[in-house]
Amino acid sequence: MSDLEKIEGLPADQRILLRPLVRTTRVFWFWAGLMAAIALWGLFAYSLQLRWGLGMTGLNVPEYWGIYIICFVFFIGISHAGTLISAILRISKAEWRRSITRSAEFITVLVIGFGAIQPIIDLGRPDRVLNVILYGSVTSPLLWDVCSICLYLTASSIYLYIPMIPDLALIRDLGIRPRWLYWFLALGYEGKPHQKEVLEKIISVLAVAVIPIAVSVHTIIGWIFALTLRPMWHSTIFGPYFVVGAIYSGIAALILAMAVLRRVYGLGNYFKDIHFNNMGLMLLLMSCLWFYFTFAEHLTAWYGGEEAEMATLWSKLTGEYAFPFWLMVASCFFIPFVLMCRQATRGVWGTSIASFFVVLGMWLERFNIVVPTSQNPRLPREVVHYVPSWVELSIMAGTFAGFILVYMLATKFFPIISIWEIEEGRELSVKEVSERVASYLPDAIEEATA
């Protein structure tokens, strides 16, 4: 009996959600091949950079950081999609979360890896990266960064894995290939009551634990910039600003992933309009918060009027970087706000378009933080214009393609929607939610006793 036949007789939820694991379409192979080719090209570009040095990039003095650091902050920001959103929704018992948590957690774990390699690509001597541990300096935000990212990767991997165990056990019991993988990963889980109890306890503890870890990760990335004396980096707002931006881009990336998954795997029944509507509302909230933080940051710099800061500020508002700056403002605020504040445009297409612009805008935001400040050092010197070289652009394209490729592969080995949580929702939640809602209401007081 082939794997495909094995799942045909299953209940609808299991059948639909397990189908991607056993059937691979030509379209999938095409896209996987394309992504692999781009990723390999990026790898080739990196090999040249390793061979000849960072001179292969467009970086220079004083433009020490460029595309790699921009992508680092961007990718780690996207990684806030999963764990944070899914943890918040789990803790707040938002029942509509059930079909979206897994895809979000996968984004987190996979993208954080691609984010974490960016600073290593950026190093002049990647062969010495272990020196950060051997000779670590506690005063350096880079060391805190390494620690928090490692902790985040560990915690979010466990947080992805533990809630997947019941599904892995189901796949193991069905005997879908590769059998050894599912046998190994299912850890002998059989769905016994005490196993379930332990599982749920771990999930609830992790959901609480990952939130401060995720906040720490992006705060520290903000501090990497803020703990220097550079104009417009040395700002107290950077910690929270980066966290808000990260969550914002994370939500947008998740919406895009949901829209694609819904289409390619026919999951319209799981990623419903209501999911996009609710995610769209979160996008709306975050767009307002983003605007508030951006406005506060720039207003403070302008009011201070410090010479070096003003040079950077004007280069963004009206100068060399006015285009990326105002495109960012449009992409991160005006477009998503206008689209998301109306119910009619909070459908699949509306949220997807808004999310595309948010992702673009948040990349630009990192560009607008890194580049204009780098170009405006406190002591004026010969101006160098930063133009990323083909090596940098190839490596960037390669990492984007690499992330998409591993995400595609992940959907081929693991159900991208949690089967047991959907089933649990059908069986238990309806009753539980009506009881919960009833408990919110004032207790009925009998007229006679009044």
Partner 1 sequence: MVIDLDRCNGCQACEVACRTENNIAVGGPERAREDRTISWIQVRSEVEGEWPDVRSRFIPVLCMHCDRPPCVTVCPTHATQKSADGLIGQIYPRCIGCRYCANACPYTIKSFNWFAPEYPPETLDGLNPDVSIRPAGVIEKCTFCYHRLQKAKDQARAEGRPLREGDYVPACVESCPTEAMVFGDLDDPQHRVHHLARDPKAFRLLEGLSTEPKVFYLAEEK
Does position 61 bind partner 1 by CB under 8 A? yes
Does position 135 bind partner 1 by CB under 8 A? yes
Q: Which stretch binds partner 1 (CB under 8 A): 54-62, 70-78, 188-196, 352-360?
A: 54-62
Give the whole-angstrom CA distance, residue 102 versus residue 266.
17
Cβ atoms 393, 401 nearer than 8 A: no
Cβ 411 to partner 1 shortest distance, Å = 35
Cβ 140 to partner 1 shortest distance, Å = 4
Tokens of 16: 């639909």
Q: Which stretch binds partner 1 (CB under 8 A): 15-23, 227-235, 266-274, 318-326?
A: 227-235
Cβ 397 to partner 1 shortest distance, Å = 22
For the chain, how are helix, strand and coil distributed in percent, rounded to 5? 75, 0, 25
Per-residue mark of binding to partner 1, 252-271 (x: CB under 8 A): --------------------
Cβ atoms 21, 415 nearer than 8 A: yes
Number of residues that bind partner 1 (CB under 8 A): 42
Does position 193 bind partner 1 by CB under 8 A? no
Does position 305 bind partner 1 by CB under 8 A? no
Cβ atoms within 10 A of the Cβ of 273, count?
13
Does position 382 bind partner 1 by CB under 8 A? yes
Closest CB to partner 1 among residues 72, 182 = 72
Cβ 230 to partner 1 shortest distance, Å = 7
Cβ atoms within 10 A of the Cβ of 274, count?
10
Give the whole-angstrom CA distance, residue 233 versus residue 225.
5
Does position 379 bind partner 1 by CB under 8 A? yes
Is cis: bond before 178, omega within 30 of 0? yes
What is 243-272 written as a DSSP string? HHHHHHHHHHHHHHHHHHHHHHTT-TTTS-
Cβ 63 to partner 1 shortest distance, Å = 10
Cβ 415 to partner 1 shortest distance, Å = 40
**In sequence order, what are the residues at sequence separation of 6 or more whose Cβ sits closer than 8 angstroms to the Cβ of residue 253?**
78, 81, 107, 111, 355, 359
- The residue count of the chain comes to 450
Whose tokens are 């020490």? That residue is 64
For the CA atoms of 219, 220, 223, 224, the dihedral, rounded to the nearest 10 degrees, stands at -140
Cβ 217 to partner 1 shortest distance, Å = 16
Q: At what angle do helices 273-304 and 348-375 cross, to 10 degrees?
A: 20
Whose tokens are 């992702």? That residue is 359
Q: Which of 46, 65, 325, 414 binds partner 1 (CB under 8 A)?
A: 65
Q: Which of 6, 28, 60, 423 binds partner 1 (CB under 8 A)?
A: 60
Closest CB to partner 1 among residues 225, 420 = 225
Q: Which of 83, 355, 368, 374 binds partner 1 (CB under 8 A)?
A: 374
Cβ 134 to partner 1 shortest distance, Å = 8
Closest CB to partner 1 among residues 131, 154 = 131
Does position 52 bind partner 1 by CB under 8 A? yes
Closest CB to partner 1 among residues 38, 224 = 224
Q: How far is CA 227 from the centre of its chain?
A: 25
What is 308-371 written as a DSSP string? HHHHHHHHHHTSTTHHHHHHHHIIIIIHHHHHHTSGGG-SHHHHHHHHHHHHHHHHHHHHHHHH
Residue 100's closest CA among 163, 43, 52? 163
Q: Which of 12, 229, 441, 448 binds partner 1 (CB under 8 A)?
A: 229
Q: Which of 43, 174, 211, 227 binds partner 1 (CB under 8 A)?
A: 227
Q: Which stretch binds partner 1 (CB under 8 A): 121-129, 186-194, 297-305, 315-323?
A: 121-129
Does position 310 bind partner 1 by CB under 8 A? no
Cβ 231 to partner 1 shortest distance, Å = 9
Binding residues for partner 1, per CB under 8 A?
Answer: 52-55, 59-62, 64-65, 119, 122-126, 128-129, 131-132, 134-137, 139-143, 146, 224, 227-230, 374, 377-379, 381-382, 384
